[in-house]
Amino acid sequence: MEPELAVALPATGALFTADQLGLGLSISPLSRALLLAAAASLTLVVTFAPQRAERALLLTWGLAGIAGMAAIAAAPSLDLVILVTLAIALLQAAVAGRRPLAARLRAPALAVALLGAGLVLARIDGAPILAKFAAVGLVAGLAAAVGILPYIHEFDAEEVTAASPVVWIAFVGPILALEIVTRTRDLIPSAAAAFGAMLIGLGLLNILWGSLASWFSEKGASAWHFSFMADWGLLMCAFGVPVADGQSAAVLVMYGILLSRLPLYLWSRQSLREKIQTDRPINLLAAAMLAGSAPFAGFAARVLLLRGATQLYWPLALVIAIGLLLWLPPSLRLGRSLGLPKVRQAAGTAIALALSVAIGLYPQPILSLAGL
């Protein structure tokens, strides 16, 4: 170390303690469990990436994403969560993509503005309705950050993954959503019911829109993008159900997005480009996993969500149960679009299927890891 630095660093430490900086770092068990899932997902995706994929690029940006997610999880205040989100958005905009920079930055930066406005409204004293407006801002910001209705991100199927909106909807999104939802509940307890109702409403809308659009969309890659939206609908409903089963369902849905849907989407890109569709057993198994059939993790998540929704208000469970049927046709289509996986992808798909079955049959270790 240079002598000047050796003097300057301890002096800086003496000037600002971690408390003064507002950096009392700690990560909740839920966030820790999600970070582990994200790391596992990245390992799976990079290890079993197709031959033509740029593995180094995927790994570099994936690790950068995980660092950003860790920063979001460790941020001591919602202000810092929002600022870290803005930093991630700017860094992602620096990745060369097919869309113009303005188009790539627009949605996440708008999300930051909405979240910021929600946070300001939550912190000021005044009429009780301000807390509800704060909840509107935070839910709208969350939807814009992830890229679900009412703010779907512009999607280009040919864009490099690190620069595409898939990063938000499938990788960074789950932990960001978790932090926003848990911190908002503490920030505006008086509007918790309104916040939950908005999450459920938006969730149902996304289930309907995402699954139908995934079913009828002409382009295969767009169908995958919409299928993420449908999963997010389920996740938003789970976040909105303030009972233990709802939270457990949310964790399992997020695991499903990170460990099942994201790897399969990335491995299917080549066959989507070559317009290959096959009806082999592996395609059917992948379709069953994506549809949330037993014994995969999605099934356990759905059962827990329905149980939680029944405790909250049974007609809600009925509506969600009807919505769940919409997963089947698009999942069959997405399973076929995987094509006939080559050796490497076949091994990856088998691992993803095995992981999903293990979590579906015995989800308790994951839930315990998440502190549930």
Stretch of 14-22, 230-238, 279-287, 315-323 contacting other proteins, by CB under 8 A:
14-22
Among the listed residues 8, 9, 16, 67, the single contact to other proteins using CB under 8 A: 16
d(CA 16, CA 8): 12
76/242 with CB nearer other proteins: 76
Q: Looking at 98, 361, 362, 365, which residue binds other proteins (CB under 8 A)?
A: 98
Q: Which of 109, 176, 194, 287 binds other proteins (CB under 8 A)?
A: 109
Q: Which stretch binds other proteins (CB under 8 A): 125-133, 199-207, 209-217, 356-364?
A: 125-133
Which of helix, strand or coil describes residue 188? coil
CB 233 within 8 A of CB 204: yes
- The residue behind tokens 């993803």 is 352
CB of 166 to other proteins, least distance (A): 12
The correct pick among 11, 14, 124, 343 for binding other proteins (CB under 8 A) is 124
Longest pairwise C-alpha distance within the chain: 70
- Scanning the structure block, which residue is given the tokens 């997005």? 257
Residues 160-179 that bind other proteins (CB under 8 A): 160-161, 163
Instruction: Calculate helix-pair angle for 192-216, 220-240, nearest 10 degrees.
Output: 160
CB 192 within 8 Å of CB 133: no
Among 30, 159, 260, 267, binds other proteins (CB under 8 A): 159
Q: Least CB distance from residue 200 to other proteins, whole Å?
A: 25
CB of 319 to other proteins, least distance (A): 32
Shortest separation between residue 209's beta carbon and other proteins, angstroms: 21
Nearer to other proteins by Cβ, of 107 and 207: the residue is 107
The 33-72 site mask, x for binding other proteins (CB under 8 A), equals: ----------------------------------------
Compare residues 97 and 173 and give the one whose CB is closer to other proteins: 97
Distance CA 147, CA 140 (A): 10
30-41: string of b/e by CB count within 10 Å (b at 16+)? bbebbbebbbbb
Q: Compute the distance between CA of residue 308 and CA of residue 319 in angstroms, rounded to an integer.
A: 13
**What six digits make up the tokens of 215?**
């079913």
Residue 126 has φ and ψ, to the nearest 5°, of 165, -150
Tell me, letter by letter, the H, E, C secondary structure of 200-238: HHHHHHHHHHHHHHHHHCCCHHHHHHHHHHHHHHHHHHH
Query: Which is nearest to 99 in space by CA: 156, 61, 152?
Result: 156
Structure tokens at 28: 């909740």
Residue 153 C-beta: closest distance to other proteins, Å: 13
Does position 128 bind other proteins by CB under 8 A? no
Q: How far is the CB of 269 from other proteins (least distance, A)?
A: 7
First-to-last alpha carbon distance for the chain, in angstroms, is 45
Where along the sequence are the contacts to other proteins (CB under 8 A)? 16, 19-23, 76-77, 79-80, 82-84, 86-87, 89-90, 93-98, 100-102, 105-106, 109-110, 112-114, 116-117, 119-120, 123-127, 130, 158-161, 163, 269
